Amino acid sequence: MHKSTKFLVTTAVTFGLVSGSMGAARAAEVVPVPAGFTITGSGFGHGVGMSQYGAQGMGLDGFTASQILTHYYQGTAVNAVALPATNIRVGILQDKTFVAVRGENVPGQTTGGAFNITIDANAAIPVAAGAVATFTTVNGQTEVSSGGSVLGAGTTVTLTWVNADTVINVKSGADAASATSALGANCAVNVCSNRYRYGTLELTSGAYDDAIVDLVVVNTLRLSDEYLYGLGEVPSSWTEAAMQAQAIAGRSYAVRKTSTRSGCNCQIYSTTLDQAFVGFSKENSAMGDRWVAAVNATIVDINTNTALVVQYNGSTISTYYSSSTGGKSQPTSEVWGSAFPYLVSVDDRWSQDPRVGNANSAWTDTVDQASLVARLRAQGVLVPDVWSMTVAGNYPSGGISKLNLSDSAGNITALTIAPGQPITPDELRGVLGTKSTYISAITPGIETVPGSTSATAKKLKSVTKVNWPTKTIVPSDYSFSGKVSPAQLGATVKLQRKSGGKWKTVSTATTNDKGAWSILWTGPSAGKHDLRITATNTKGTIKTSTKRVTMAGSIALSAPKSANRNASVTISGSVAPGYADVAVIVERKLGNGKWKQIGTVATDAAGNWAITHNATSKKLTVSYRAKTSDSRLGVLVSKTKKTKVK
């Protein structure tokens, strides 16, 4: 259902820089861009509600139709309901210049084929089996012809079957001859498309959602069973549970279609704009009798028009469904905006189950540069070209929520994929030409084409979100990070340190496809450092204000809380970072006396140290501390620790 809007992105590979910054290359010449992108993913459709392949997997695991439906439509119940309307108007054809019809026998029968044509309220005109009638619009009315003669014209033309062994073949064309030729051979087993067996056919002329007055064809038939017999949504070879679930979902969806649509003079389209209604060809195809039996199993009483539907709090719901997902269904809040308690994200691992034979459990699509740019611009995303595409975020269901694009000048366009945004999830499928938004990778093609001559780098305004230290840090490798604004790919970012009154570059990086950068400062020494960040593109260089960063190590000491007189006492500790061969001076103070050195020790490979000496012969409190002036750590003094000598 609604597969044209049935629609996950997790990773992307960026088209690599050859050398230096993209901005610098852009200043000299037109930058080549990928001729196209390859997109891989899984699932088919919008991902909301029931997954058809998931339903088949659940059927294979022994779940019933009701269990399948209440899994995909949370909090619902499958109830027997007397349907509010007996019939439904299905839009078969729209915007046609000529339509041709022919009555034919149901395969295996010999008495069918004849039908009647009624123009408005006039007397019925009989048409023999095998005879062709054509229709076109003349002066705003529908003109009917057969056997080389015009039979009349009117506002509404209705076709009715003479008996149940008849199917009506319906085709269209640019003129009467081409429409007639399109009818082809008579209906045969497994070869009987565009035929309709139930209800009536209605042809009218009008300007349906456009300025051209032309033909539409509507099949009016019973909703509870006849409409569903022609629903070509799932194979007739599937499990009974999956087919019954599809029949109930299809009926529930159709029950909600009560208004006449202006584009078709119908209530429901026969295409995946709504549900794929294929007419008699469904039950006439291989194993079609299994599908008919599945539909009939969901009917409680045809005489009272009572059948099974999906309900939430006693009301029949719009049972949206799609072919398959990437492993979880998507809630309506992610795809269309409005949230419904029964259309939430649920487990759909069955979509990926090899047993169900889902050809779209994994797929690859491609989009060329020109088409991609044209589609983006049609959505109001005015990029000159696309140099890279990166998935920047995903919804909990796995569908893409953010997509970053960069052009050949390095300008980044960050797109939020959501309802109400320039590109919605449904629209993203059209822009990228993919089966769903469950996308696992986007890779640039090897071949390139010239980038747009209108691609020009935007002037950088600021360096933001720099993780400047807010307190003294240990003198070890430190990673600075931040972003440039506006976001740009390939801008050159430098970490600079002031030394001798001059700024010197410590390290360099380039911004990524989110406009972010990261610079590692390796081997900084202890002390106070004046630093800044600069960012450069073809429009110039911007600088942060000067930041003073203080780096100093630390030294720790531990001593026993008590000791006996003249006993051997071990004083130990460590330095951070854990450098080896740091000279540590250990001092002690007896009572309120002066600090005196009791020894010097070097740290081991992990930065640890220890020294042993004899405690005093007097009962008093001894204080200990450790010091170092190693250039790698700075001048450090530990906290004082006290030992009570007994």
Digit-coded pLDDT (tens) for 264-323 = 999 999 999 999 999 999 999 999 999 999 999 999 999 999 999 999 999 999 999 999
Task: Go through 25-51 and write b for each residue having 16 or more CB atoms within 10 A of its CB, e for each that does not.
Answer: bbeeeebbbbebbbbebbbbbbbbbbb
Residues 302 and 158 in one domain: yes
Q: Residue 643 pLDDT more than 60?
A: yes
| 330 in any annotated domain | no
| 476 in any annotated domain | yes
Q: What is the mean pLDDT of residues 133-137?
A: 97
Assign 1 a pLDDT band (cuts: 50, 70, 90).
Answer: low
Residues 74 and 213 in one domain: yes
List the one residue out of 164, 150, 140 whose CA is nearest residue 117.
150
Q: Which of 492, 522, 551 is the last residue of a domain?
A: 551
Domain containing residue 599: CATH number: 2.60.40.730
Q: Residue 502 pLDDT more than 80?
A: yes
Instruction: Provide the pLDDT for residue 615.
Output: 87
Q: Letter for the amino acid at 354?
A: P
Q: Which of 551, 581, 609 is the last residue of a domain?
A: 551
Q: Residue 234 pLDDT more than 50?
A: yes
Distance between the two ends of the chain, CA-based, in angstroms? 88
Structural domain span for residue 444: 3-18+40-46+357-450
Assign 34 a pLDDT band (cuts: 50, 70, 90).
Answer: very high
Instruction: Provide the pLDDT for residue 482.
Output: 96
What angle is formed at CA 412 by the lines to CA 411 and CA 414, rounded to 5 degrees? 155
Report the chain's mean pLDDT, rounded to a whole number: 93
Determine the Cα–Cα distance for residues 486 and 240; give it in Å rounded to an integer.
Answer: 57
Assign 8 a pLDDT band (cuts: 50, 70, 90).
Answer: very low
Assign 116 a pLDDT band (cuts: 50, 70, 90).
Answer: very high
Domain tally, the chain: 4
Assign 195 a pLDDT band (cuts: 50, 70, 90).
Answer: very high
| 27 compared with 230, residue with greater pLDDT | 230
Ramachandran area for residue 566 (φ above 0: left; ψ -120 to 50: alpha; else beta): left
Q: What is the mean pLDDT of residues 236-242?
A: 98
Residues 286 and 196 in one domain: yes
Assign 476 a pLDDT band (cuts: 50, 70, 90).
Answer: confident
| 488 in any annotated domain | yes
Domain containing residue 519: CATH number: 2.60.40.10
Instruction: Provide the pLDDT for residue 525.
Output: 87
What are the backbone dihedrals phi and psi of residue 327, each rounded to the nearest 5 degrees, phi first?
130, -20
| 264 in any annotated domain | yes
Instruction: Provide the pLDDT for residue 10.
Output: 34
Residues 576 and 526 in one domain: no
From residue 197, give the alpha-carbon distance in Å to each of 10, 194, 286. Answer: 47, 10, 17
Q: What is the pLDDT of residues 72-107, one digit of tens each?
A: 999 999 999 999 888 999 999 999 999 999 999 999
Instruction: Provide the pLDDT for residue 162.
Output: 92
Residues 227 and 99 in one domain: yes
Residues 491 and 640 in one domain: no
| 341 in any annotated domain | no
Percent of the chain with pLDDT over 70: 96
The conformation of residue 437, written as its DSSP 8-state character, comes to: S
Instruction: Provide the pLDDT for residue 19.
Output: 34
Residues 152 and 278 in one domain: yes
| 566 compared with 57, residue with greater pLDDT | 57
Quick check: helix, strand or coil at residue 566? coil
Q: Residue 212 pLDDT more than 70?
A: yes
| 351 in any annotated domain | no
Instruction: Provide the pLDDT for residue 111.
Output: 94
| 272 in any annotated domain | yes
Residues 516 and 605 in one domain: no
Residues 245 and 364 in one domain: no
| 214 in any annotated domain | yes
Burial-class residue 612 by CB neighbours within 10 Å (0-12, 13-18, 19+). exposed
Residues 470 and 610 in one domain: no
Residues 183 and 200 in one domain: yes
Q: Which of 551, 580, 603 is the last residue of a domain?
A: 551
Q: What is the mean pLDDT of residues 206-222?
A: 93
- Strands 478-485 and 462-464 come out as antiparallel
Compute how many other C-beta atoms are within 10 angstroms of the C-beta atom of residue 568.
Answer: 10
Residues 492 and 365 in one domain: no
Q: What is the mean pLDDT of residues 211-237?
A: 96
Assign 12 a pLDDT band (cuts: 50, 70, 90).
Answer: very low
